Chains A and B, each alone.
Chain A
Amino acid sequence: MNEGSSALVLVLSGDPALYAIVRLSLVVSLSAVGLAALVGLPLGGLIALTRFPGRAGVIVLLNAFMGLPPVVVGLAVFLLLSRSGPLGSWGLLFTPTAMVIAQAVLITPIIAALTRQTVEDDWSEVRDELNAMGVGPLQRLMTLLYDARIALVTVLLAGFGRAAAEVGAVMIVGGNINGFTRVMTTAIALETSKGDLPLAMGLGLILIAIVFAINASAWALRLYAERRIG
């Protein structure tokens, strides 16, 4: 396993090009999670707590969108941001911002759908109590989102996992430009096809390590919170 050992050397030696790629990956995916949370958490909570015609259809659509193919999202955002597209004048195509937008579009349905489910389950449990306290609609939403905060961290994590692992969307709207829009997944795809397996494997190792570390800390947070909050 010659390539395996050179991959390890690359990771441990702190190769600057490699770490620039890792940093951009984290910045893009975490920003996408932030953006998707701003939309997805209130949206999911709102759908959970309201009744309107066509609600069942919206929920089915949202659940279906959890499985959106990244390349299709990439294509849609590409068309939106390309020169001749409606938002072409913003000049965002092939920038990290475009990648954030594409990943946010990809994971907003995941965060909204899982939030909807969580909040709706909690609501059926506390509905009588909150109604007996005369809690109004907006307060109700805030209360339930806050009450479900531990579960919602796991929801955001699911979104992060999806964003950090996808290739298609960032490849299409970012263009995998060296030193500018190259992230771990697009680099792995490129280096593998070029035959530079050590770099691809090194990045793969780091990607797995990051996902592992984030899940481990979320698990620890959950244990701590369960003891503290119940």
Chain B
Amino acid sequence: MSDLPVTLTKVSYVVGETSILRDVDLVVRTGAPTFVVGPNGSGKSTLLRLVMGLITPTAGAIEWAGARDPAPRRRAMVFQHPVMLRRSVAGNLLYALEQAGVEKSLRDRRCSELLQKVGLSDLADRPARRLSGGERQKLAFARALARSPELLILDEPTASLDPSATLALERLIAQAAAEGIKILMASHDLGQMRRLAGDVVFLHRGRILESASAKDFFEQPVSAQASAFLRSDLILED
């Protein structure tokens, strides 16, 4: 079973009178990490939630490997503020493994492998809700990996982390990408984008203004808004 490629065709998302995304065409396929960038309110989170299948487009269609069924198969998501269940760190991970359909006899071993991978082995018995921001984000990452995803969606995962926690998470993301997991990630950290991105999708006011390789996006942005975004990370209303 597969979730890739994810194909969005003329996707719009409207809440009441407000149009959050308009006529978005996008294909997410295997390859280097794709960064979704743009100013606040440009629709990044909504786009990621649509790709994850958490919300349904008000117009247009989304297909996961050609199927319209939004049930997640080989995809997982890490949120900006992950919420843990009221269990231990290991308990949260075992729960995710169970939900991912991992056989009971394999869960314990897989759980310690994942804890080791993200560097939380020492905190396995700690209540998950008591973790620091950086630790919680690592656990959320491990929980996403528990699904053995081929597509991993991250919504500004480092936005509220300090530099060392950010670096640790970036290493994990780079490692996952190197292992062949497709990363789709929202960020407005330009440095992070330079370090990790293979492709960039630039969103502005609910429209995709640019979709290019990271190199092209940084060196020769086409739209005035993207140039402004790259210059100052700030776009004033036109």
Measured CB to CB, the residues of A under 8 A from B are 125-126, 128-129, 131-135, 139, 143, 147-150, 227-230
Contact = CB atoms under 8 A, between A and B. Distances in A.
Given A131-B54, A134-B71, A230-B129, A147 B99 contact: no
Nearest to A134: B72
10 contacts: A126-B83, A128-B77, A133-B100, A134-B71, A134-B73, A143-B95, A147-B85, A150-B86, A229-B87, A229-B129
A132 B147 CA distance: 10
B212 to A, nearest CB: 28
Given A132-B76, A133-B147, A139-B99, A229 B127 contact: yes
Given A125-B83, A133-B72, A135-B99, A228 B127 contact: yes
B51 to A, nearest CB: 11
A131 B50 CA distance: 12
Given A132-B76, A133-B99, A133-B147, 7 more contacts: A128-B79, A134-B99, A143-B95, A147-B86, A147-B87, A230-B128, A230-B130
Interface string B51-81: 0111000000000000000011100110100
A147 B91 CA distance: 11
B34 to A, nearest CB: 18
Nearest to B101: A134
Given A230-B127, A230-B130, A132 B52 contact: yes
A135 B130 CA distance: 24
Nearest to B131: A230
B96 A133 contact: yes
B71 A132 contact: no
B86 A128 contact: no
B86 A230 contact: yes
Nearest to A228: B127
Given A134-B72, A135-B99, A229-B87, A129 B82 contact: yes
B52 A129 contact: no
Q: Which of A132, A135, A147, A149 has the most CB of B within 10 A?
A: A132
Contacts of A131: 53-54
Nearest to A226: B127
Contacts of B96: 133
Nearest to A125: B83
